[in-house]
Every structure is written in structure tokens, then in C-alpha cells.
Amino acid sequence: MNSELLANWLLDPSIVFLNHGSFGACPKPVLAVQQREREAMEREPVRYLGRELEGRIDGARTEVARFVGADARDLVFVANATTGVNAVVRSLRFSAGDELLALDHGYNACLNALAFAAEQGGAKVVLAKVPFPLASEEQVLEPILAAVTPRTRFALIDHITAPTGLVLPIARIVRELESRGVQVMVDGAHAPGMVPLELNALGASYYAGNCHKWLCGPKGVAFLHVRRELQPGIRPTVISHGANSTRTDRSRFQLEFDWVGTVDPTAVLSLPEAIRFMATLVPGGWPELMQRNRALALQARVHLLGVLGIPSPAPESMMGSLAALPLPDGPSEALGAALFARGIEVPLFPWPAEPKRLLRISAQLYNSMDDYVRLGQTLKELVAR
């Protein structure tokens, strides 16, 4: 681990932490801001939640919208990207014969939400089968477009795939699908803080992104971006006071999502500090941070591919700060447990199903190349058994 940068996190230094991608890790200064917000809330809860919260949320929304290239009027906060996907697909009404497109690399929780919404209306989920390993972006675009029919109404597309760690050509995909009359919901769970975002330019109907992963905010905060003309049809998963508010000073979209009942809003209110603090850790701010993480992931992947004696499963152009590597067949859970017993936290996924499996590494500023060398040596010992 990079001990100098690791000091900014609470991570256990005895564990080689190569799984930032699952839940992120929040730096100490951001947690300190969150704690100060909690204390302010508890000193006078009615003033904080009833009189001041809306303005505080607006301030955080402005900062996050600027970071992701969006208009603040089009963005609301939700607990996580899965909640954002649920809000959209459960707001829309699908009918028998409708087809809902998704990827076989999709995140299980979001695919479940899509399947639930389809079932309610008698629609059908169609999975585009994207190969892995693959050699080019075209091998992503071709199966997606081949799966579109005149009945395709909606598409749930990952910006960065969770099991395989691929940065998909999302601008091309969105452009092609939206031009065919298909509303696109982008599951951007891993994107904020890993890759630059310009949501206004992207033009997707809907976009959900986590702020607790690569943005390094506290747990329990994400954003949902909805194109303005579609906002009247999108409701939060919890219907609350905003549903019959008579206010006209802000959109129904924000009135409903901004207050779904009593929750701890301090994760949302800590996001400006997460954006600010992470930018201070390297001289070039966020652009350099993203570049350094990606460069480390690429270097680590080259090393591990050599250790395992396997070819590259995807082009470097489709990589961010994650890298997935196919391993020899075997039980994923047992190998993951064996690695953790040796002090290495790294996820393994059955892909596409047991006994096939993938190992996925993450790269964050607190990591160093020594971490991946240790992983490689341990894999040689365990996989060779």
C-alpha cells in the first residue's frame, strides 16, 4: 500500500485492499465533515431538517452537478445507483409485447429491478450477450443494436460493467439507441470519480451514479439525473409529502425526491468536501487522480496477466480503474476466502457461471504496485494447488 496516501483513510494497513470498487472507502477528512453535520443536526433537529436542509441540499447538488457536467435542476439524490434504477423502472409503465433491453454483464440487483418492472406489465427483458474476453468496442455495440426491435421501449446499459470492469462506449450506445426511439437508463454506478462525466452532452434519458465509490463520499449517497422533459413521469420509490405539495418555486421532481421522510442527509452534504479533498491529493486534481488510478490498474493487469500466463481479455482502451482477469475453473468463494486469509481483499465472481470465474482488481491512490505483486505471488501458490 502507499503508506503516505493510505494515512488519509481508515483502512486496515494489515490488509491489502484491492476492492475499492465494491463499496469505495471514505477519507478521514470527509468523514469528519459528515460528523460535524451530524452534530449540527442533533443540536437542533427541527431547524436543521425542517428549515435549513433544503438549502444545504441545493448547495451540494450544485457542486455535484458541476462535477458531472449537468444542470442542477436535473439532478436529485438517492441512496445508491440501484435505488435510482428502481425509481425509474418502477415509475414507467410497460405493456405486454414491450421489450426492455439490458446486458448480460449487467449488475444483478438492477437486472432484478428491470425484471420486476417487466413482469408487472407483461413485458419481456431481452439480454444482449456481450462477449468476454473481447477485442474491441464493436463487439459491445453490435450485439446491443442487433437486439433492438420495433418493440424495444427501454434499455438499461452499464457505463462500467461491475463483473467485467469494462468501460463501455456509452456515448455511442446512447446516441444509437435514443435515435431509434429507445429511452436509455445508464447504470453509472462506477463512473463518477473514475471517468470524466458530461451528462448534458451524453443526452441519456436517465443516469444513476454512485458517489460512495470512486468519488469517495460516505456510504448511502448517489445521484439520479433525468432529462427535463421526462421528469414529470419519474417518482421516488417512497411517495411522501412532495406528492401533493402546492409549492411552485421548484419542480415536482425535486420536491418529491428531496424529502422522502426522515433520513440522515449528512452523506449528501459531505459530497462537496469529497470532491474538494480528493482533488488535493495529487497536483493535477481530479484529471490526474483518474489518470493515475487507471495507469496503476493497467500496470497491475499486465503484471498479473504475465503471472497467470493468460492473454489480455479486453483492450486497454476499455479500461478505467478496474480490471477483470479470467482464472482457471474452480470455486470462487473458496479462493476468495483463501486470499483473505492471507491478508488480501479482492473480489472473485462466477462468470458467466461456476466453475468459470473472474478476479477483479481495483486501483485507488492508496494502492501501490507492491500490492499486485503480492496478489500475483499468492495466486501462483493457491491456483497451482
Q: Is the pLDDT of residue 261 over 80?
A: yes
- Span 15-43, average pLDDT: 98
Name the DSSP letter for residue 324: E
Domains of the chain: 3-18+282-383 (3.90.1150.10), 31-274 (3.40.640.10)
Q: Is the pLDDT of residue 341 over 80?
A: yes
Contact 322, 359 (CB under 8 A): no
Residue 383: its pLDDT value, please? 87
Residue 350: its pLDDT value, please? 93
Q: Say whether 278 sits in a helix, a strand or coil.
A: helix
- Span 191-206, average pLDDT: 98
- Span 165-192, average pLDDT: 98
**209-244 confidence digits (pLDDT tens):** 999 999 999 999 999 999 999 999 999 999 999 999
For 1, residues 6+ apart whose C-beta sits below 8 A from its C-beta are: 11, 13, 16, 17, 366, 367, 368, 370, 371
Q: Is the pLDDT of residue 385 over 70?
A: no
**Amino acid at residue number 22:** S
352 preceded by a cis bond (ω within 30 of 0): yes
Q: Which residue has the cell 420536491?
A: 255
For residue 254 the three cell numbers come to: 425535486
Residue 384: its pLDDT value, please? 65
Average pLDDT in the chain: 97
Residue 73: its pLDDT value, please? 98
Q: Is the pLDDT of residue 159 over 80?
A: yes
Residue 30: its pLDDT value, please? 98
- What's the half-sphere exposure (Cβ side, CA atoms, 13 Å) at 138? 1
- Span 49-77, average pLDDT: 98
**310-329 confidence digits (pLDDT tens):** 999 999 999 999 999 999 99
CA dihedral defined by 33, 35, 38, 39, rounded to 10 degrees?
A: -100
